[in-house]
Structure 1
Amino acid sequence: MPSDSPSFTERARRQQIIECTIDLISTKGYPATSLSAIAERAGISKAAVLYHFTSKDNLTRATLEQVLERFMAYVSTRVAAQPDPLAAIVAYVRAMVGYQQANRRHVRVITEMLLDDEGGTRLKTPGRHDTHGRWQMLAGLLAEGQRAGLLREFDTRSVALAIGGAIDGVIAHWLDHPELDLDAAVDELETFTRYAIARRD
């Protein structure tokens, strides 16, 4: 087992193993990604992989956590840079799609890792991931917009789920049909979002 304070070399090796895991899950699928395949991709022994992560479950969970952390950091940074809640909501929608467009491997990892398995621990629908955390962030932005008087009155959780579902639907379709013009789709998502939340007076 690595120590509580891993060395630079150990951290680099762990990251290499995670990157190989991302490559394999995104191309071969979660079930076909074995520790032996990861070790072969990394050019190390299976025992070396187990030294750093102790099991496939620990490794794949660490991989998923890193992917989700990068995803949400990307979105949060772009939201925080906006001057008002409405601009932040639009930035959220565009960042959610933009990150996934630029990081297709990560999207595959997320959808593969959150697909339903025999234990029922993963979600069935592609594109749905960490729904509580993501839509809670969006619901908070919507509530800020209402407090600022920029948006109409509505149930923020319901509208956050509707906007999130629209984003997930577009991404799920894009994964199956890469010819989809995702830039045009995000323009439509922005229009949909603005219409859904705009004041009517």
Structure 2
Amino acid sequence: MPKLGMEPTRRAEVINATLTCISIYGMDGMTLDKVAELADCSKGVVTYYFKNKDNLTIEAFKSFLAYYGLKIEAEIANTMTAGDMLDVTLKHILPPARNDTGEQINVSQLDGIEKMHIPYSAQGRLFIQFFSKAVLDRNLQEVVSSSYLADVHGVAKIFDYGNKAGQMTVEDAQSAAYGLLAMVVGLSFFRVADIPPSRSEDNRYICEDYVRRFTKH
């Protein structure tokens, strides 16, 4: 049994190790032994908190998806315009290409949200691994559905705020949010498949153009 008071830290270390393991070896190559090695703990500690690989995978997926919302919420302020809020949102859910492969995965809030980080290259690998597995796994589908419904609701509130504040013209905030997030998912797959658009190597400008259609100038 882990030492008393170590539970939050140990759980966080195991989740971070799981995401690191999946980003390196893929979902099928991730094992409890490899996770334990990366987390610098025994396999018994991993199973103590998460029972088995399926439970561990679900909790790691939840943490992966929650990471983006936490980073966005930490940066958005009530004094921002709706456009600025959407800029912050896109910065995290479809981040600009960057070279940060030397940094480690950390989706834990224990040391502060500012310390949370997933390297750009790892984000793409984790995205494709989790979502391809979710196609056939009902439990993972439920994680995606719950997370994305909340995301659509949150982005719709921003569109609605922009409309009411006279900063945007949005007939249906829910549909606008649904379209933006669907676009982000599609563009994320194109990034992983290395299919660049004709205008730029970074396809995020397509989402930015979409948002500008609603923005009053």
TM-score with structure 1 length normalisation? 0.77
C-alpha spacing 1:100/1:109, structure 2 compared with 1 (3 Å): farther
Q: Deviations for 1:127-152, whole angstroms, at most 9, x for unmatched residues? A: 99822111111100001111112222
Determine if the alignment matches structure 1 residue 7 to structure 2 residue 5.
Answer: yes
Say which of 167, 187, 197 aligns to 1:170: 187
TM-score with structure 2 length normalisation? 0.72
C-alpha spacing 1:72/1:12, structure 2 compared with 1 (3 Å): same
Specify the code of the residue in structure 1 equivalent to 2:187: V
Could you tell me how far 1:65 is from its partner in structure 2?
A: 2.6
Matches within 5 A, 1:26-105: 26-80=23-77, 83-98=80-95, 102-105=119-122
Could you tell me how far 1:105 is from its partner in structure 2?
A: 2.1
What percentage of residue pairs aligned between the two structures are identical?
19
Which 10-residue stretch deviates more, 165-174 or 48-57? 48-57
Taking only aligned residues, the RMSD between alpha carbons, in angstroms, comes to 3.3
Mapped contact 2:94–2:204 kept (Cα < 8 A) = yes
Mapped contact 1:22–1:106 kept (Cα < 8 A) = no
Matches within 5 A, 1:181-200: 184-195=202-213, 197-198=214-215
C-alpha spacing 1:47/1:2, structure 2 compared with 1 (3 Å): closer
Could you tell me how far 1:34 is from its partner in structure 2?
A: 1.8
Q: Which runs of 5 or more structure 1 residues have no equivalent in the other structure?
A: none
Mapped contact 2:128–2:189 kept (Cα < 8 A) = no
Give the Cα–Cα distance (whole angstroms) in 2 for the partners of residues 81 and 74 of structure 1.
15
Could you tell me how far 1:72 is from its partner in structure 2?
A: 0.9
Which 10-residue stretch deviates more, 36-45 or 23-32? 36-45
Which 10-residue stretch deviates more, 88-97 or 166-175? 88-97
Give the Cα–Cα distance (whole angstroms) in 1 for the partners of residues 158 and 193 of structure 2.
30
Mapped contact 1:145–1:151 kept (Cα < 8 A) = yes
Specify the code of the residue in structure 2 equivalent to 1:185: N
Could you tell me how far 1:47 is from its partner in structure 2?
A: 2.1
